[in-house]
Amino acid sequence: MLNTSKRVNKLIASPIRKFLPMVRAAEKKGVKFFKLNVGDPDIFAPKEILQGIKKYGNKNIPYAPSPGISKHVQAWLKYYALFGIKLKEENIVPTIGGAEGILLAMMAVADVGEEIIVFEPLYTSYKGFAAVCNVKLAPITLRVENNFKLPAIQEIAKKINKKTRALVVISPDNPTGKVWSNQELKNIIKLARKNNLFIIADETYREIVFEGKPKSILIFPAVRNNALVIDSLSKRFSAPGIRLGALVSYNQKVMRAILKIAMIRLSAPTIEQLATVAILKNSKKYTSKIANEYKQRRDIVNDALKKMPGVLVSQPVGAFYQVAKLPVKNAEDFIKFLITEFRHKNKSVLVAPLEDFYVTRGLGRNEIRVAYVLNIKELKEAMEIFKKGLERYLKK
């Protein structure tokens, strides 16, 4: 018998994409779904990127250098300078989205059997990449009931053992919408330094914050040796298909390690690196508008869910996701009901089940994530339909 690898066999289907066949079947029959399940922004991408792609005039499409096209990396430096962070080209390696950044970061800091501390629920690619790298994730569970508050630093410290290599800090966070305060960041930096751990800081949603200003962990000089930042253009420029991100660190050793792996996969896309130079240099022009839009959407989703009997919500302050605990036994079962049975004027709503965002088995079974990636009018209608769907499901 031909078998695939054990590492692949233990992977689970993406919680967000596993319902796709059922959705397609319903769509073929004319059902319209409001898609609040995938973090794919509906907002138009910056015109600079679209123009940049059209303007590409070469007759060849050569590989980019593994450390990135210099013009593109220079544009990143300018982007970071906005946040008071001075970098050199050697501190950045462009990646194929933040997703590849996660993989490269894990491979660079941890060996097979070693451990990385994470806060759950968390973005599911961490689980998938840890599985393929044979790295163990040690989860610290945060709860919707207390707005995903961190435990005392002593509790976090208890998770550290001889095999621990890094802590993951995702801020603003997917799926919780949590934004780490400066004090929380300082505490974790102290812990990381004391125990000689890397901090993998995922700042994919940096500018999407509803309170305070966008920031990076790199503003803290104390973290310079320990931080490896995962960055991405996907969300801040509403352009996930551009497949560009970056790994950023002041630690020369880790950047050399990253570059060695980056060379194996050759390079990030050439045309896209060139097409994003202009907007990276002038990012505020675009990003200053989106946070406010998402804040209004957060309010619509949050208010609507809060009013539904038995539904418990947290208060997101960043990114574009809302977690809710539902008065159901099994959120997946409810989602299947929304896809296959429930219709309101031949419309229904898609949300993501939260169970697979947890590392610990059995948690989050009655929780969902709502991605507010539709315009305000559609979002209002979607939440009305969701309410009706939940009522109908509970009466079953």
Ligand X SMILES: Cc1ncc(COP(=O)(O)O)c(C=O)c1O
Residues that bind ligand X (CB under 6 A): 39, 97-99, 123, 170, 174, 202, 204, 232, 234, 240, 245
Q: Looking at beta carbons only, is 42 or 333 nearer to ligand X?
A: 42
Please, are residues 244 and 275 in contact by the beta-carbon 8 Å criterion?
no
Q: Report which of 335, 356, 359, 338 is spatially closest to residue 347, judged by C-alpha positions.
A: 338
Smallest gap, in angstroms, from Cβ of residue 341 to ligand X? 29
Q: Looking at beta carbons only, is 129 or 334 nearer to ligand X?
A: 129
Count the residues in the chain: 396
The per-type count for the chain, helices as H runs and strands as E runs, is 14, 13
Q: Looking at beta carbons only, is 250 or 320 nearer to ligand X?
A: 320
List, in sequence order, every residue forming a beta bridge with 64; answer none if it has no partner: none
d(CA 81, CA 244) in angstroms, rounded, equals 19
d(CA 332, CA 19) in angstroms, rounded, equals 10
Smallest gap, in angstroms, from Cβ of residue 105 to ligand X? 11
Q: Looking at beta carbons only, is 204 or 267 nearer to ligand X?
A: 204
Instruction: State the residue number with the nearest CB to ligand X.
Output: 97
Q: Looking at beta carbons only, is 241 or 310 nearer to ligand X?
A: 241
Alpha helices in 134-181 (DSSP H): 153-157
Smallest gap, in angstroms, from Cβ of residue 268 to ligand X? 11
What is the number of alpha carbons within 13 Å of residue 197 lying toward its C-beta?
28
Q: Looking at beta carbons only, is 208 or 379 nearer to ligand X?
A: 208
Q: Looking at beta carbons only, is 308 or 324 nearer to ligand X?
A: 324
Please, are residues 227 and 218 in contact by the beta-carbon 8 Å criterion?
yes
Two structure tokens written together for 373: 């990636």
List, in sequence order, every residue forming a beta bridge with 116; answer none if it has no partner: 137, 166
Smallest gap, in angstroms, from Cβ of residue 352 to ligand X? 11
Q: How far is CA 138 from the centre of its chain?
A: 19
Q: Report which of 20, 52, 34, 36 is spatially closest to residue 237, judged by C-alpha positions.
A: 52
Smallest gap, in angstroms, from Cβ of residue 276 to ligand X? 12
